[in-house]
């Protein structure tokens, strides 16, 4: 059932769907950490574009953290899945507690991945924002909302796979959505990979450092 060997393989395949953005000096690639970074690294390398992270955190249901009830992103962006919140009876206090906890992790990752380096400027740029797959779309939609506040010239969402409903939803929110496949039933991102080990903070730092020191990216 798997479509890709690993995230590197998926990134190389995704890059071939984005060839129209190769060698343009106004194109930047942003990755949703952590799993999106190895995919986006291969795309950025192929497009000869700079790479950075787009910091987003999923808001998990308090007693079922793997189930997303929304997401937050840099810039005080908060997206809630009102249907999930309403159907599970999640209170505003419970939401606030989860948001506070995830904000701390967002800040930690910001420092861990960038250090003192400023984020890439997206205003008036073509921005390709990438994850390793899109299931509910909560984190990607939070990233999109945050990026739209920065007024890019053209915003592209790209991922190796996406749930069809989420793909359709995102297509109404950005200029372009690029996916290799939208299999149904989608179930989970990891289902479409042979190897889907968790990407570590060290791997993220190494790939960002490599991307920003190789002449290929400049």
Residues 178 and 137 occupy one common structural domain? yes
Do the domain assignments include residue 1? no
Are residues 91 and 45 both part of a single domain? no
Of 76, 91, 112, the one marking the end of a domain is 112
Boundary residue ending a domain (112, 136, 156): 112
Q: Are residues 174 and 196 in the same domain?
A: yes
CB 59 within 8 A of CB 69: yes
Please indicate, yes or no, whether residues 67 and 159 belong to a single structural domain of this protein. Answer: no
Question: Is position 2 within any domain?
Answer: no
Q: Which residues pair with 30 in a beta bridge?
A: 52, 129
| Same domain? 133 vs 174 | yes
Task: Using the predicted structure, report yes or no on whether residue 199 has a pLDDT greater than 80.
Answer: yes
The pLDDT confidence band at residue 20, using thresholds 50, 70 and 90, is very high
Triad 57, 78, 127: Cα angle to 5°: 70
Same domain, 85 and 129: no
Quickly state the pLDDT bin for 48 (edges 50, 70, 90).
Answer: very high
Query: Quick check: bond before 34 cis, omega within 30?
Result: yes
Instruction: Please write the tens of the pLDDT for every residue from 91-146.
Output: 999 999 999 999 999 989 888 898 888 888 999 999 999 999 999 898 899 899 88
Same domain, 166 and 151: yes
Q: What is the pLDDT of residues 140-198, one digit of tens each?
A: 998 998 899 889 999 999 999 999 999 999 999 999 999 999 999 999 999 999 999 99
Strands 64-73 and 56-61: antiparallel
In a domain, 100, yes or no: yes
Kindly report the pTM of this predicted structure: 0.87
Name 205's bridge partners: none
Same domain, 76 and 21: no
Residue 212 forms part of a structural domain: yes
Does residue 218 surpass a pLDDT of 80? no
Q: Is residue 143 exposed (0-12), middle (13-18) or buried (19+ Cβ within 10 Å)?
A: buried
Is 207 in contact with 41 (CB distance < 8 Å)?
yes
Q: How many CB atoms lie within 10 A of CB 116?
A: 5
pLDDT at 118: 84
Q: Mark whether 39 and 23 lie in a shared domain.
A: yes
User: Both tokens of residue 209?
Assistant: 């450092």
Q: What is the CATH number of the domain that holds 188?
A: 3.40.50.2020
> Would you state the pLDDT for residue 212?
82
Residue-range definition of the domain harbouring residue 87:
58-112
Final residue in a domain of this structure, among 80, 95, 112? 112
Residue 197 lies in a domain: yes
* Shared-domain flag, residues 38 and 69: no
- CA–CA dist 140, 163 (Å, integer): 12
Q: How many domains does the chain have?
A: 2
Residue 66 vs residues 28, 69, 131: alpha-carbon distances, Å? 30, 9, 17
Same domain, 125 and 31: yes
């Amino acid at each position: 059932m798997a479509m890709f060997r690993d995230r590197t393989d998926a990134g190389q395949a995704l890059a071939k769907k984005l060839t129209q953005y190769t060698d343009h000096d106004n194109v930047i690639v942003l990755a949703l950490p952590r799993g999106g970074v190895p995919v986006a690294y291969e795309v950025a390398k192929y497009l000869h574009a700079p790479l950075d992270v787009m910091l987003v955190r999923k808001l998990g249901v308090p007693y079922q953290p793997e189930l997303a009830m929304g997401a937050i992103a840099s810039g005080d962006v908060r997206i809630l899945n009102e249907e999930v919140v309403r159907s599970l009876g999640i209170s505003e206090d419970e939401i606030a507690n989860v948001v506070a906890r995830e904000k701390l992790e967002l800040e930690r990752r910001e420092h861990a991945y960038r250090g003192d380096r400023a984020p890439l400027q997206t205003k008036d740029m073509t921005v390709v924002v990438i994850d390793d797959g899109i299931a509910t779309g909560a984190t990607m939609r939070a990233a999109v909302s945050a990026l739209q506040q920065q007024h890019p010239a053209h915003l592209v969402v790209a991922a190796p796979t996406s749930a069809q409903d989420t793909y359709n939803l995102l297509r109404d929110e950005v200029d372009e959505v690029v996916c290799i496949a939208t299999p149904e039933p989608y179930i989970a991102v990891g289902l479409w990979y042979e190897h889907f080990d968790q990407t570590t903070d060290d791997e993220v730092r190494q790939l960002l450092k490599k991307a920003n020191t190789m002449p290929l990216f400049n």
